[in-house]
Structure 1
Amino acid sequence: MATHLVTGGCGFVGRNMVQRLFNTTADRILLVDDLSVGTHPDTWAPWKCDGVDRGITVYGDGRVLFLQADL
């Protein structure tokens, strides 16, 4: 299983990329965003939140990980 890093993952392009990767692969997806422009995945993600572990929000049975950070 590969891991995809999507920076700016909560903006328009990033969240569409995350959803496409989720629907077309079985890979893990790490999205990182500082939410300066985008919206939190809780508002747009079709997957339920599986919890928060060390500041990383987990969605979609552990396949989608969200970290709020400025890179």
Structure 2
Amino acid sequence: MFAEYGYADSEEHKRQHNELIAQVVELKEKFMVNPQGTISADLMLFLKRWLTNHIMRTDKEYSEFLISKGVKY
């Protein structure tokens, strides 16, 4: 939909999702090395940052853009 409606920040949005994937892989690797470690604290911090910084800001921006183009959910 980004391409179809010409969303200007689509490449940045994709980059952020690729960064998310890399962070998830890193957390998984930490857990595999030390299943009893502090992965839960790392995971909670990661999720908090992702929810507040990406979903509440970045996703809201593209949602508003698509709605302005007439896209209905």
Q: TM-score per shorter chain, which class? A: under 0.3
Greater helix percent: which structure?
2
Task: State the TM-score, normalizing by the size of structure 1.
Answer: 0.24
